[in-house]
């Protein structure tokens, strides 16, 4: 019981405000020689107010950023997205070839099937945790 | 020479001319569903020398005898490059005719030679398909090849001593015919099944 309570205490700061409905969150696996991974998910805002993601972090990666792929001068280019606002009722897709998470320097080589915990920070200071599955 | 023999000679010359142009033009016209074909007006590649992931030279002559699909990218690209290589792997897996798959070869050419050493390339390409070949070369050796194929690429936000920087690059897959000539392009985003049908058509028809 006591262990359970401690566990709840540990989880509370990141799960108290599940502001966004996040589904199908996954990480594209790559061989260990490559120190970056892309992450994808579907984000829906069920709130009556806009929600802005201002930072991401994970204990499994040195840093996590939002990136967008765009086409410029006939070339594909990656651009960091400093914040992402999801309007009330809006659904944003993070999908291959578009908006995605850039997960840099895995602490350990990733393997398909693993779960990695990511924490999303919002502009009002609240946070939300989620699990992302590594896929081949 | 009478009038009718002039007509016969002219007709013969015309026929020889057509036959010759058919012979000189490398490949026959093929209508593709997912790419652009110009194999019937294919352009010879310049001489080049890259190093493959087994540290063996990869030259224009290495491309002869097979239909080659070449994707230019870099391993530190987690989004678009894995998607293209995955598509190429699925394309190979969905072609049932072994004569067709046996006639194809897939290359991943890195435009980030500093980070993509042969060992990194080896692990990277084999992750997608053990038969894929990774290769790269220093920029001055790489540029003549990429330029001749219309593949643009540049390194951006490079700070001396910092291993983190960006590489912009064209995302088309280049088709090189068995005569080592530039014969077609598959623009992004590529579709594995459509490419499989197109490559089957190309190999069987030519």
User: What is the set of domains in chain B, with CATH numbers?
Assistant: 26-205 (3.40.30.10)
Tokens in use for A69? 């792929």
Mean pLDDT to the nearest integer, B151-160: 88
* Span A20-42, pLDDT tens digits: 999 999 999 999 999 999 999 99
Task: Please give, rounded to a whole number of angstroms, the shortest distance from the CA of A31 to a CA of chain B.
Answer: 6
Identify which of B166, B134, B162, B163 has the alpha carbon closest to the alpha carbon of residue B153. Answer: B166
Closest chain A residue by Cα to residue B73: A76
Are A34 and B168 inside 8 Å of each other by CB?
no
What would the pLDDT profile of B62-111 be if each residue is shown by its tens digit?
999 999 999 999 999 889 999 999 999 999 999 999 999 999 999 999 99
What percent of chain A has a predicted confidence (pLDDT) above 70?
88
What Rg value do the Cα atoms of chain B yield, rounded? 20
Q: How far is A62 from chain B (nearest CA, A)?
A: 13
Confidence of residue B159 (pLDDT cuts 50, 70, 90): confident
Which single residue is written with the structure tokens 């930072």?
A55
Among partner residues A38, A69, A75, which is closest to B170 by beta-carbon distance? A75
**How far off is chain A from B42, nearest CA to CA, in Å?**
22
Residue B92 CA to residue B129 CA, distance in Å, equals: 9
- Per-residue pLDDT at B89: 97
Tens digit of pLDDT for each residue in B43-66?
999 999 999 999 999 999 999 999
pLDDT of residue A5: 52
- Average pLDDT (A106-115) is 97
Length of chain B equals 206
Write the pLDDT tens digit of every residue in A48-85: 999 999 999 999 999 999 999 888 888 888 889 999 99
Out of B80, B127, B168, the one facing A97 most closely (by C-beta) is B80
Among residues A18, A32, A37, A50, which one has the least CA distance to residue A94? A37
Q: What is the 3-state secondary structure (H, E, C) of B67-134?
A: EEEEEEECCCCCCHHHHHHHHHHHHHHHCCCHHHHCCEEEEEEECCCCCCCHHHHHHHHHHHCCCCEE
What is the CATH T-level fold of the domain A14-135, as seen in this structure?
Answer: Immunoglobulin-like (2.60.40)
C-beta atoms surrounding A126 within 10 Å: 15
Mark yes or no for CB contact B119/A67 under 8 Å. no
> Are B107 and B135 in contact, with CB atoms under 8 Å apart?
yes
């Amino acid at each position: 019981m006591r262990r359970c309570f401690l566990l709840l205490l540990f989880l509370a700061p990141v799960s108290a405000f599940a502001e966004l409905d996040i589904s199908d969150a996954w990480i594209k696996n790559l061989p260990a020689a490559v120190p970056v991974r892309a992450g994808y998910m579907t984000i829906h805002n069920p709130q009556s107010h806009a929600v802005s993601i201002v930072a991401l972090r994970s204990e499994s990666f040195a840093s996590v950023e939002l990136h967008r792929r765009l086409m410029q001068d006939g070339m594909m280019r990656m651009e960091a997205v400093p914040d992402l606002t999801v309007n009330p009722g809006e659904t944003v897709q993070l999908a291959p070839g578009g908006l995605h998470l850039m997960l840099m320097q895995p602490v350990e080589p990733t393997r398909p099937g693993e779960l990695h915990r990511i924490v999303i920070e919002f502009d009002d200071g609240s946070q939300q945790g989620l699990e992302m599955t590594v896929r081949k | 020479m009478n009038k009718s023999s002039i007509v016969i000679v002219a007709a013969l010359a015309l026929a020889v001319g057509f036959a010759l142009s058919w012979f000189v033009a490398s490949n026959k016209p093929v209508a593709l569903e997912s790419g652009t074909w110009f194999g019937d007006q294919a352009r010879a590649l310049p001489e080049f020398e890259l190093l493959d992931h087994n540290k063996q030279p990869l030259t224009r002559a290495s491309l002869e005898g097979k239909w080659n699909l070449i994707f230019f990218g870099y391993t530190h690209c987690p989004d678009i490059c894995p998607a293209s290589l995955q598509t190429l792997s699925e394309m190979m897996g969905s072609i049932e005719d072994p004569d067709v798959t046996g006639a194809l070869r897939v290359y991943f050419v890195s435009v980030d030679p500093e980070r993509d050493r042969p060992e990194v390339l080896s692990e990277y390409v084999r992750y997608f398909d053990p038969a894929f070949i990774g290769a790269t070369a220093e920029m001055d050796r790489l540029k003549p090849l990429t330029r001749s194929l219309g593949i643009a690429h540049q390194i951006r936000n490079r700070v001396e001593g910092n291993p983190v920087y960006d590489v912009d690059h064209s995302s088309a897959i280049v088709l090189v015919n068995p005569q080592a000539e530039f014969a077609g392009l598959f623009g992004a985003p590529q579709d594995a099944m459509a490419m499989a049908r197109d490559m089957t058509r190309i190999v069987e028809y030519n």
